[in-house]
Amino acid sequence: MKIAGVHHRSIGRTADGKGARILDQRDLPWHVTWVDLRSVGEAATAIRDMWTRGAPLIGATAAYGMAMAIATDPSDAAMARDYAMLLETRPTAVNLRWALDEIVAAVRALPFEERGAAAFARADQITDEDAAMSAAIGQHGLPLIRALHDENPDRPVNILTHCNAGWLATVDYGTATAPIYAAHDAGIPVHVWVDETRPRNQGAYLTAFELAEHGVPHTVIVDNAGGLLMMQGRVDMVIVGTDRVAANGDVCNKIGTYLKALAAHDNGVPFYVALPSTTFDASTPTGADVPIEERSAGEVVLVAGQEGTVRITASPAANPAFDVTPARLVTAYVTERGVSPII
């Protein structure tokens, strides 16, 4: 990822190697702030309170959080306690559980004195693997955009995305944005319609920020504008990320994704879901079996801007954070292994 023209990853080890350094997404797009996490408790807070977010990046943060916990207390009892604490922070994103299981599996058979170093080593591998998977997603998704440009070579390919599934949601490159960056870097003209993505505005705050830093043309739109743009023929494809894909291919993603899929289906616009294989959950039969996180009503009634936070309604609010898009509405899944109509 690029910030002011300089390449960064969204997470890595602290300078002394004993913690994790993350980009605090709460300050974006107004300020770029890096935070050092020094304990499993701080990692849990960062995940729960969305200093860091996005299914793959949640997994990487949890991996480092578990490594910090094991380095502090490598006992089996402490591992079980800290595993449970991290697991409950964000129940919908399956990468969280996967990463925790990977850390535990890497150290379980080792003597206590070796567990801390092994846990950090596996966390480092998880971050490297995630960056590589995102890069591969970009290369597999690139031909989809190239084909659309070949059909209409006199104008940019117009792509609509929802929420943030970019490098701010992964270790690098992103999932849904990886093909966009690959196309832009290959000289294919693209333009991105960026859903603002209420209530936390991840599109307006995060996706728009990273696209701007990479030099990709884009326009922020209100969430409900996508259907009209598709009806007017101003969207060539929709590509989104996901927090979990069930065994039958149902897609759990940021609230509002289902409505975009319905609009795309009604208007004959291809609807793609980009994900690393770690986000596929074979143990969950269908989308109806995914726990839907209900977040604080404060995220709905309060809106943060450059000048501060304002309350926009005096009424009660509900805040389901995710919805489920049925597999029948998905044109294809783009993973590090390729493009497939079935997961």
Query: Known catalytic residues?
Result: 243
**CB-CB contact of 189 with 147 (8 Å):** no
In single-letter form, the type of residue at position 43 comes to A
List phi, psi (to 5°) of 123: -65, -40
Q: Count of residues for the chain? A: 343
Q: Please provide the DSSP assignment of 194-205 as one string.
A: EE--TTTTHIII
Contacts of 342 (CB under 8 A, 6+ apart): 249, 327, 333
H or E element, residue 302: strand 302-305
**CB-CB contact of 181 with 216 (8 Å):** yes
- d(CA 337, CA 343) in angstroms, rounded, equals 11
Query: Interior CA angle at 220 toward 219 and 225, to 5°?
Result: 105
Contacts of 233 (CB under 8 A, 6+ apart): none
List phi, psi (to 5°) of 327: -55, -30
Q: What is the Cβ-side half-sphere exposure of residue 53, based on CA atoms within 13 angstroms?
A: 24
- d(CA 58, CA 171) in angstroms, rounded, equals 10
Q: Looking at the DSSP assignment, which residues form a beta bridge with residue 161? A: 194
